[in-house]
């Protein structure tokens, strides 16, 4: 196995485990509950989960999606979030490789997964996650840039966070109905991750977010699933746009420059 393949496999396994933890965070943080205590239990019969029933994806399959004690149907979303964690971690490891920036981008992907699901559920992005995780991401990225001997990259990372924050704050002030302050704080977080990679990645990430979010909003409006006044959470699109920029930014930007004759 090549070193990169080993890294991708190890990251996928880590993604499964942290995907399982993501389910705990998604279920508890919006209600202000601790993510450490009590131990995981069946939401229906409150029987604590045994270790063998708490293995990501595998246990859900082995139990055929039902609680061992009361046969409560465990939502399909639990294994799907775990699989999403594994897939995102594998893709990030493949894209970033053996680099001091890898821990930062694994944290980046995990946070965006958790915040997207919470935003879809509750139409808000909890400060309890963005407030501690944004400075941690900044430290990891600035540390990676300085380890790589590139103080300019460290500065650009921080400016990326500030720029994305300011851009979405301006939009939120112009159109308060479309965007919440949670989205603005999320923008600071993802601006750090995109700024580290370059200004072109930051522009692409925000552009992709508006393109994806706008296209879906128009489609839902067209099929009459939503009225003009219904809120469509924007957080998941910000997350999706930034992940596109992190994972596929290089080829997309090169193709754009070639197509426009700028490259
Ligand atoms: Zn049960």
Confidence check: pLDDT of 228 > 60:
no
Separation of CA 41 and ligand 1 centre (Å):
8
Separation of CA 62 and ligand 1 centre (Å):
15
All structural domains of the chain with their residue ranges: 1-98, 101-263
Q: Which of 88-102, 194-208, 212-226 has the lowest mean pLDDT?
A: 212-226
Q: What's the whole-number mean pLDDT along residues 222-243?
A: 82
Separation of CA 5 and ligand 1 centre (Å):
39
Q: Tell me what percent of the residues of the chain surpass a pLDDT of 90.
A: 81
In which band, very low, low, confident or very high, does the pLDDT at 230 lie, cut at 50, 70 and 90?
low
Separation of CA 97 and ligand 1 centre (Å):
41
Confidence check: pLDDT of 225 > 60:
yes
Tell me, letter by letter, the H, E, C secondary structure of 4-63: HHHHHHHHHHHHHHHHHHHHHHHHHHHHCCCCCCCCCECCCCCCECCHHHHCCCHHHHHC
Q: What is the rounded CA–CA span in Å between residue 87 and residue 104?
A: 17
Separation of CA 47 and ligand 1 centre (Å):
6
What is the model's pLDDT at position 18?
97
What pTM was estimated for this model as a whole?
Answer: 0.93
Confidence check: pLDDT of 226 > 70:
no
Separation of CA 65 and ligand 1 centre (Å):
11
- For 149-207, what is each residue's pLDDT tens digit? 999 999 999 999 999 999 999 988 987 676 789 999 999 999 999 999 999 999 999 99
- C-alpha count within 13 angstroms, C-beta hemisphere, residue 214: 6
What is the model's pLDDT at position 135?
98
- For 39-87, what is each residue's pLDDT tens digit? 888 989 999 989 899 899 999 999 999 999 999 999 999 999 999 999 9
Separation of CA 95 and ligand 1 centre (Å):
40
Q: In this structure, which long-range contacts are made by residues 254-262, counting pairs with CB atoms below 8 Å and at least 24 apart in sequence?
A: none
Between helix 235-259 and helix 77-96 the angle, nearest 10°, is: 30
Separation of CA 234 and ligand 1 centre (Å):
34
What is the model's pLDDT at position 163?
98
What is the model's pLDDT at position 185?
97
Confidence check: pLDDT of 229 > 60:
no
């Amino acid at each position: 196995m090549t070193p990169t393949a080993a890294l991708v496999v190890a990251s996928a396994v880590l993604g499964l485990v942290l995907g399982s933890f993501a389910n705990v965070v998604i279920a508890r943080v919006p209600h202000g509950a601790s993510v450490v205590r009590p131990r995981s239990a069946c939401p229906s019969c409150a029987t604590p989960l045994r270790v063998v029933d708490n293995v990501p994806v595998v246990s859900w399959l082995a139990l055929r999606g039902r609680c061992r004690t009361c046969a409560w149907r465990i939502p399909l979303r639990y294994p799907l979030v775990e699989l999403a964690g594994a897939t995102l971690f594998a893709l990030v490891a493949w894209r970033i490789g053996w680099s001091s920036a890898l821990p930062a981008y694994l944290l980046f992907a995990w946070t965006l997964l958790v915040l997207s699901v919470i935003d879809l559920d509750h139409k808000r992005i909890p400060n309890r996650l963005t407030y501690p995780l944004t400075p941690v991401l900044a430290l990891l990225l600035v540390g990676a840039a300085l380890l790589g001997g590139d103080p300019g990259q460290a500065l650009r990372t921080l400016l990326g966070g500030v720029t994305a924050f300011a851009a979405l704050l301006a939009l939120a002030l112009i159109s308060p109905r479309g965007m919440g302050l949670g989205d603005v704080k999320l923008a600071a977080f993802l601006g750090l991750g995109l700024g580290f990679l370059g200004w072109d990645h930051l522009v692409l990430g925000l552009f992709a977010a508006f393109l994806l979010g706008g296209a879906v909003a128009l489609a839902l409006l067209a099929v009459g699933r939503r009225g003009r006044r219904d809120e469509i959470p924007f957080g998941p699109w910000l997350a999706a746009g930034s992940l596109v920029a992190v994972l596929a930014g290089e080829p997309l930007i090169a193709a754009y420059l070639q197509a426009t004759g700028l490259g």
